[in-house]
Every structure is written in C-alpha cells, then in structure tokens.
Structure 1
Amino acid sequence: MPAPSLKTATLPSADRHMWRLAWPIILSNISVPLLGLVDTAVVGHLEDAVYLGAVTLGAVLFSFLYWGFGFLRMGTTGMTAQAHGREDHDGLRTLLGQGIGLALAIGLVLIIAGSPLITLGLSLMEASEATRALAHDYASIRLWSAPAVLINYVILGWFLGLGNSRVTLGILVLTNGVNILLDLAFVPGLGMTSDGVALASVIADYCALATGLWLVARQLRRMPGRSDRAALLSLPAWGALIRVNQHLFVRTLCLLGATAYFTSQGASFGDDVLAANAVLLQFVMMTSYALDGFAQAAESEVGRAVGQNDWQRFARSVGAATRFSLITATAASGLLWLCGPALIHLLTDIPEVRALATLYLPWMVAMPLVAVWSYLLDGIFIGATATREMRNTLVVSLLAFIGLWPLLEGFGNHGLWLAFLLFTSVRSAVLGGYYLHHRRHHWR
C-alpha cells in the first residue's frame, strides 16, 4: 500500500521515516473517533436525548474497564521497540506471549467481576434514573468483549513496536468498519437503541481478535529466534513487564478519571448539557487520535533508538514528531473554528443539544493547541519506558483539575471546560519539565 502523497522526497530523512510510520496510525486512529461519531449520530437522531446520554455514560465506564488496561498496548510498544533495536528476537516472542497471557487473565476477571463494577460505576455518576438504567444495559453487553479487546491491545502494541504500523491500520479499520456497519444494521435497521450499539461493538471486537491472531502467526513464522517457554512460565521473568506497566496503569486511571469527572460534573447540569458535551468530546477524541498518530510513531522510533543507545537518532525522531504534531494541531484547531457548527448539526437533530454544543464550541478550538504537547511527550516517554514520570504527571494534573473545578463552578459548563483545559495545560507543563531534565542528564 503506497503512502499518501506528502512529497516525502523533499522532507529530511527523519521526517520521511516518521511520516511513513505515522500515516497508517493516523488513518487507523481517525477510524476510532469516526466510530464514536457514528455511535453519537445513530443515537443522537433518536427521539430522546436519554439514549445519547446512556451511550455516553456507558462509554465512559468502559474507558475505565478497558482503557484502564491500556498499558497492555503502551508498555508492549515501548518494550518491543527496544528489543527490536537490540535485535533480540527471542525477547520479542517472550514479550508477545507474556502480554497475551496477562491480557487474557485480566479479561476473564473483568467478565466475572464486571457486573458489580458496572453497578458501582454508574451509581457514582450524576444522571437521571432512566439514563443510568439504559447505560447499565449497554455496559452489561459490552462486558463480554473484554478478553478480545485486551488481547487486541497487546497485538497492536507488538506490531507497532516492530515498526509495522500498516498492520495496525488493517486491524483497526476492520474493527471499526464492522462496528459501524452493525451500528447501522441494529439501530436504524432493526429498531434497537443503545443496546444495539453495544452488541455491534462486541461482535466487531471478536472479528478483530481473530484477524490479529492470524497476522501474529504469520509474522512469527517469518521471524528468526525461538520462544522461551521458561520465561513465559517463570514469574520473575515477568518483572520488567510489570515494572513498566504498573506506572502506566496508574497514569491511565488518572487520565480516565479526569474524563469521567468531567462527564459526571457535566451530567449534573442536565441531560441536554450531558448530550452536548458528548458531542463536543467526539471532537476532542478526533483531534487526540490525529495527534496520537505521530506520538505513537515516536514511541516506535524512540524505543528503537533507546534499544540501540543511539541518541542522535533519538533527537532526530523527537524533532520530526514535534514538527508534524504542531502542524496537525494547528490544522485541527482551524478546522473546528471553520466547520464546527456544521459538524454539530451532522451529529444531532435535537435543537437544545445543537444550541448548547455551539455555545461551548470555542473551547474545542483552543484544545488542540494546548494538548499537542502532552500527546507528543507521552509518545517519547513510552518509547523510552520512562513510565514513572508519566504516572507522576497525571497524578499532579488530576489533583489540579479537581482542585480548580470548585473555584470555577460558578461559571457553569464554561467553567467546567476551562478546568479541563487547565488540566491539559498542567499535564503538558509537568511532563515537559521531566523531558528537559532527562535530555540534560540521561537522554544524550
């Protein structure tokens, strides 16, 4: 598959390589918020905002149950990239086996223990009784996809660590394509509501798992080295994986906690504000996945440079990722400024939700220009497996968010969006300070 044209022959070598890695990730990442847009549009065109609110609350809940274990993707990418840089093929096989084993175990535990977690999670969210009841039904269906989702995280992280981003594109496009088609079949086609959206996600996740395992088997047949059964069965051999991932786990919970806190506080303003914020959060997610394309490419390149102990390559990779990230953030901000109202009208027919989403749209224009640094730096730190610093940054940022919100609550939903923007600013500033420290003392 040829890369989309960017006149790469005119770019410096590091930029060309970064672009070749990033463009499949960007396309695959954009397919994720496009799925969210379809979910929002499908239920946003139903007769009552309660269905959109239910899908929003259910999706936030599953951000905890699933993306709380997003370290399975991130940790796998950083460690795989470093092993790839060292040309440690036995280690690559071991990392894959350990990651899949850990993901399967966590997925089964979630199925067994998920029901009380769903009840507890929804009880902590401020929303109407009708919205919570529909969200519970949605979440109970989504729960069955846990093993597939978590193993897919490992598979995607492993291929990205190998620098094979086109496989990531294929898997995610398949997943989200199937999901979108089933959304349309179940909701407008069969007359289902939020439960149809959940069922579509479960089926799509298992289709992706089957495809991912087939691609892994094909890759292993081509790869030199052998699997180390002792490393898979010996708990001490899992030490490096656990050390890296434990910090990422806390970091991810804090990030998702900020999103859940934002959604919960927005719900306290009523179902229409909750629905309007859900529409705007789709724009945040779309922008974040575009920015994350270059961040994830940086994970692979930085990890490989660290594995080779090549700090010139490290610096070139960081520079290339920075240039592309800034261009992307500026373009996203301009697009939302020019086309935001039209996009809102595509997502919902409910007049009250349209009006509220348009009122708060300026916050979306500012968000990419502030958030770009946090995504870029995350990619660098994941590649270097400097996960303790990422954990500390998110703890500080979440505490700042929770502390600032009571001071801004009098400004209503505008104050909530300002607090969220300041949370993102603190995250970028603290991680930036860590980066400057490491460049002076370690990464050189």
Structure 2
Amino acid sequence: MADAAASRQPRGRGNLTEGPIAKTLLAFALPTLASSILQSLNGTVNAIWVGRLLGEGALAATSNANMVMFLLTAFVFGFGMASTILIGQAWGRGDVDGARRVFGTASGAFAVVTVIIAIAGYYLAPAILHLLGTPGDAAPLALAYLRVIFLALPALLLLTLLMMALRGSGDSLTPLWFMIIAVVLDSGLNPFFIRGIGPIPRMGIAGSAMSTLVGNYVSLIGLFIYIYAKDLPLRLRGRELGYLLPDPAILKTLVVKGLPMGIQMIVISMSALALVGMVNREGVETAAAFGVAMQLWTYVQMPAMALGAAVSAMVSQNIGAGKWERVGQVTRVGIVQSLLITGGLLVLLTLADRTVLSLFMGPDSPALPIARHIHLLASWNFLLFGVMMVLFATVRANGAVWAPLIILAVGLVPVRFGYILATYGWLGADAIWTSFPVTSLINLTLAGAYYLNGSWKKARMTVTERPDTDECTEEALATREPGGALNPAG
C-alpha cells in the first residue's frame, strides 16, 4: 500500500505546481542554461583541438560529419520534448507510475532505434558522405570520424533523452552534473586520443570522435547508477522494468507529437544554410563577419531557449495538476524574464561589441566593422525571439505542436527570403541583416495571435484520449506546409 501511494505522489523535489513562480522558473532555467553553454563550449574546444593538431582538412571533415549528427539529434530532440511534456503532465497529476510508463517506453524504444541507426550508419557512412558532397580530400578523414561518431550515437542520444525526461520531472540539476562529466571527458581526452599519449593509441581524427564516445558512455552509465543510487522517482524496479517494452499508445503519442518538433529543427537549419549561401556571395570579409556574428548569437539566444525549456516543464506540470490559472502566470513571468535577461545581455554586448568581436578576429581585421554593423542591425531580434519561445513552450506543453512548426516555417522561408529578394535592390546586404528582426516580428505576431486565440487549450498531449476536432484540424493544416540554423538563431 505504501509503495502504491508513493507512486501517486510526486516528491517535493521537482514539484513545479506550487511556490513562487518567478523564483522557481529562474532556478529551474539556470542549470539548463549552463548545460547549453557547456555544450557549445565543448564543440568549440573540440574544433580547436582538431584544427590545431590535425589542420584545416580535418576540421572540414568534422564539419561534414557533424551535419549528419545534427539532423539525427534534431529528431531525438522532438521525441525528447514530447516525453518531457508527457512526464511533466503525469507529474503534475501526481501520477508517478504514469511518468515511469512514459519514461520506460521512451527509453526502451529509442535504445533499440539508436542501436539500429548506429549499425546502419557505420556501414552506410561512405554513401552518406557522398550524398553530402564531401570534398575528396576531406572524405577519408570524414569517414574515419563519422564511423566512430555513429558508434557513440546510442550513448549520445540516450543521454539527451534521459536528461530531458529528468527535466520533465522537475529536476534540472542532475542533467547539469552529468553534462559536465560528458563535456570534461570529451574535451579533455581529445589530445590524448588524437596524438596517442601514454598507453592510448594514436588515432588521428578518429580520436576526436573516440573522446566523444568515451565521454558520453561514461556519463550515461554514471547517470543510470546515480538514478538508482539516489532512488530518483523515474527509476524502474521489479515489474516496472516491463515498462521498457514500448506501450503502443504512448509510443504513438511520442511519434505524432515529437515529429513536428523535430522537423522544426530541420526547418531552422535549412533556412540558415540557405542564408549562409546568400551571405557567401557578399565576399570573404562579409562571410567571415557573419560567421562571427553567428558565433555570438549562439550564446545570445541561450537564455531564451533555457527559459523556454523551463516554461515547458513548468506549464506541463501545472496543466497536469489542472492549475490553469498558474499557466498564464508562468507564461507572463517567462516573457518578462526573457526580455530582462536577453535585453541586459544585448546592452552589454553592444557597449563592448568591438572588444567581444575582436576575440574572434584581430582588432585590425577589415571584417570587424562589418560584424559590428551586423550586430547592430540584427541582434535585437532575439528580444522578439525570446518572447516567441516562451509562447511556443506554453502551447506545446498542452500538445499543440503543429501550429508552432507552421508559424516558424512561414516566417523562416517565404517571409524571410521574400523580404530579402524584395529589398535587396535598395538595401544591399542590409536586406539580409534586417530580415532577422522582420522575420522575428512576423513570427511573434502569429505566435501571439495563436496564444491569445486560446484554441491551443483544446489540444491534448495524452495517450488515453482521441484527438479532438481542433487538433485534427491543426494536423491537417500542417500537411500543406513544407516540412528548418546550424544555430537556431531566430
């Protein structure tokens, strides 16, 4: 009886349905923000190791291989978000057993899927690189790197899924600690595996991928041990281990709701790649300046994305608890915090733009004035982007996943490129930079209208109810849109 009662009552830790909203939301978002910063720094440090130890050809090879990983991770992001929301709603209802069922289905299904992808990817790697048009000189290096990365894929994707599931139960600190472990091992072991220091064999470019493999497998195993050692609520014991056999209803919900969130990442990426192609036509200095601006924007957008993740977890729990009055309050607080944090960061970066941008290029670089100009015209769009992220996080937490995809696709494809083509004749390259705030303004207007309309409240993120008329309409409309940034920069 005691165990049964415990399965229906979430512990105080991770309960996002009570207490002061502003303090709770910020405390939840900060570890998520730290995790995002660590991931970005990890990629930067690894690129430095490869570039300095192996040269530009190896760096180009890793870039081609990482494009493949980004596409795969994008889909897992969608399914991870779906499981996060389902777990959060079950948690808010006090249904710990329901949260464990979702966790079991997500973990069991994707453990099998990631292993299949890893094996297939290992053998299909040459064909994949050929499809990407990898330059001949970089192809052998890219192949050696990509094959090891595919072997690391099960740990990398499962670790991401587990971390997102823990956030759904209101725990954002545990994922941070194990992200630190993965990043420290990945970045720290790079020179050892590349150069072959001590008993470690010299592996060249494959050594960089091997450090990723070791870091993520160690972190994944450590996270499993920690979950059971600390008896965290999502652990599975006894009969609950049967939850690892995917429940068809739960799995269907994860796929149906997760797919559009994964496609969203692809839409953002394709839009950014097309934009880079347009920028490259402006010359080497402009392309370099835009590349530096993109590096800066990677960090500028992080507070908004972390707050969006926090809002999603908090709203999903409150929806599960039936506390709709707190849903609106969480959204408003999230918007205010996003504006304040992102706005403060933008003011600081603008006041010190020469100093900050000089970190990426010399102070006498001819690209520096161009980068400062791009920053002044485009960077403030992240204020609008942050508000949009909070609104999208709120509606997705109730299962409305297609409308955000449609809104983003409209803004990032026809609106952005239509605006650039229409204004390029008299604005020149400034048409590209001003397309960022224009796109964000259109996206925010559409997102705000959808949120205020309230139809998203009729959507459902459950495994027991049939979709209602509004949700079916939403999904039908989504099929009319094409299914987009290397950094999701708005």
TM-score tier, shorter chain, comes to 0.7 to 0.9
Q: Tell me the amino acid that sits aligned with residue 149 of structure 2.
A: R
Comparing 339-348 with 19-28, which one deviates more in the overlay? 339-348
Q: Does the 8 Å contact 2:81/2:164 carry over to 1?
A: yes
Q: Name the structure 2 match of 1:202.
A: 213
Q: Does the 8 Å contact 2:51/2:58 carry over to 1?
A: yes
Distance of 1:420 and 1:136 partners within structure 2: 36
Q: Name the structure 1 match of 2:150.
A: 143
Q: Name the structure 2 match of 1:241.
A: 254
Q: Does the 8 Å contact 1:175/1:207 carry over to 2?
A: yes
Q: Tell me how large the CA RMSD over aligned residues is.
A: 3.7
Higher RCO (CA 8 Å, separation ≥ 6 residues): 1
After superposition, give the CA deviation of every residue in 1:186-212 in whole Å (9 maximum; x if it has no partner).
Answer: 679979986554443333222222222
Q: Number of matched residues?
A: 429
Is 1:437 the counterpart of 2:453 in the alignment?
A: yes
Is 1:24 the counterpart of 2:59 in the alignment?
A: no
Question: What's the TM-score once normalised by structure 2's chain length?
Answer: 0.75
Task: Give the SS at the match of 1:70.
Answer: helix
Distance of 2:454 and 2:195 partners within structure 1: 53
Is 1:297 the counterpart of 2:307 in the alignment?
A: no
Q: Computing the radius of gyration over CA atoms, which structure comes out larger, 1 or 2?
A: 2
Q: Name the structure 2 match of 1:428.
A: 444
Choose from 97, 108, 133 the match for 2:104.
97
After superposition, give the CA deviation of every residue in 1:8-43 in whole Å (9 maximum; x if it has no partner).
Answer: xxxx92111112212222222221222234345556
Distance of 2:211 and 2:327 partners within structure 1: 41
Structure 1 residue 170: deviation in Å? Answer: 0.9
Comparing 109-118 with 367-376, which one deviates more in the overlay? 109-118
Is 1:85 the counterpart of 2:92 in the alignment?
A: yes
1:97–1:196 Cα change, 3 Å: same
Distance of 2:453 and 2:127 partners within structure 1: 40
Question: What's the TM-score once normalised by structure 1's chain length?
Answer: 0.82
Q: Does the 8 Å contact 2:107/2:158 carry over to 1?
A: yes
Q: Does the 8 Å contact 1:72/1:103 carry over to 2?
A: no
Choose from 196, 205, 215 the match for 2:226.
215
Q: Does the 8 Å contact 1:334/1:365 carry over to 2?
A: no
Q: Tell me the amino acid that sits aligned with residue 378 of structure 1.
A: F
Q: Does the 8 Å contact 1:142/1:201 carry over to 2?
A: yes
Distance of 1:178 and 1:387 partners within structure 2: 36
1:388–1:308 Cα change, 3 Å: same
Q: Name the structure 1 match of 2:175.
A: 168
Comparing 255-264 with 15-24, which one deviates more in the overlay? 255-264
1:167–1:31 Cα change, 3 Å: same
Q: Does the 8 Å contact 1:390/1:431 carry over to 2?
A: yes
Distance of 1:46 and 1:265 partners within structure 2: 32
1:437–1:187 Cα change, 3 Å: farther
1:346–1:42 Cα change, 3 Å: farther
Q: Name the structure 1 match of 2:475.
A: none
Distance of 2:102 and 2:357 partners within structure 1: 43
Q: Does the 8 Å contact 1:84/1:162 carry over to 2?
A: yes
Distance of 2:292 and 2:277 partners within structure 1: 15
Structure 1 residue 337: deviation in Å? Answer: 1.4
Q: Tell me the amino acid that sits aligned with residue 307 of structure 1.
A: G
Q: Tell me the amino acid that sits aligned with residue 202 of structure 1.
A: L
Structure 1 residue 373: deviation in Å? Answer: 1.9
Choose from 72, 76, 79 the match for 1:69.
76
Structure 1 residue 54: deviation in Å? Answer: 5.0
1:157–1:241 Cα change, 3 Å: same
After superposition, give the CA deviation of every residue in 1:38-71 in whole Å (9 maximum; x if it has no partner).
Answer: 3455567689766655554544442212223211
Is 1:326 the counterpart of 2:339 in the alignment?
A: yes
Structure 1 residue 360: deviation in Å? Answer: 3.5
Is 1:316 the counterpart of 2:323 in the alignment?
A: no
Q: Name the structure 2 match of 1:8.
A: none
Which structure has the highest helix share of the two? 1
Comparing 324-333 with 381-390, which one deviates more in the overlay? 381-390
1:417–1:323 Cα change, 3 Å: same
Extract unaligned runs of 5+ from structure 1.
1-11
